[in-house]
């Protein structure tokens, strides 16, 4: 949502900078292996079969940073429910493409963090 809203604002301002969103899928890192208790056992049981190694988890970010793809693109794994695989440019979720919600979330985040915004609203 933030990446798409950023792209809308960049486009409106006339910038040639591109905002591209990358999702690593579910990479098997120590974040999964350090969860304890029942929750940890359940996560390991269900998540480990659909995880990918860390190197493959880095590929969507590397692809997004090095390929000539349009601003507003979403890059994620091409495999099983987009949790693992090689990078592909995919369509972001319907809820993340809602510009009204994105503007409100952007404004609330700017207010809560005290950062404001130098980029015009895409409205």
Alpha-helical (H) ranges within 1-123 are: 2-13, 30-33, 37-47, 54-66, 99-113
Distance, C-alpha 75 to centroid of its chain: 8
Would 119 be classed as within a structural domain? no
How many structural domains is the chain composed of?
1
How much is the mean pLDDT over the chain? 87
Q: Is residue 44 part of a domain?
A: yes
Task: Please give the DSSP secondary-structure letter assigned to residue 9.
Answer: H
Domain assignment present for residue 115? The answer is: no
**pLDDT exceeds 70 at position 33:** no
Q: What is the pLDDT of residues 39-71, one digit of tens each?
A: 677 777 777 778 889 999 999 999 999 999 999
Looking up residue 89, the CATH number of its domain turns out to be 3.40.50.720
Cα–Cα distances (Å) from 18 to 15, 35, 40, 67, 117, in that order, read: 8, 36, 38, 12, 17
- Closest listed residue to residue 57, CA positions, set 28, 19, 32: 28
- Checking if the pLDDT of 117 tops 90, the result is no
Full domain range(s) for residue 17: 2-108
Whether 123 is covered by a domain: the verdict is no
């Amino acid at each position: 949502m933030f990446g798409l809203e950023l792209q809308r604002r960049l486009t409106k301002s006339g910038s040639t900078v591109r905002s591209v969103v990358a999702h690593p899928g579910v990479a098997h890192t120590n974040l999964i292996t350090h969860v304890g208790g029942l929750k940890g056992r359940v996560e390991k049981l269900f998540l480990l079969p659909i995880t990918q190694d860390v190197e493959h988890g880095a590929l969507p970010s590397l692809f997004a940073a090095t390929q000539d793809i349009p601003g507003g693109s979403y890059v994620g794994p091409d495999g099983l429910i987009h949790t693992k695989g090689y990078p592909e440019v995919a369509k972001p979720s319907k809820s993340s493409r809602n510009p009204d919600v994105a503007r409100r979330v952007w404004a609330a985040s700017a207010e809560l963090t005290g950062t404001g915004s130098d980029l015009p609203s895409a409205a």
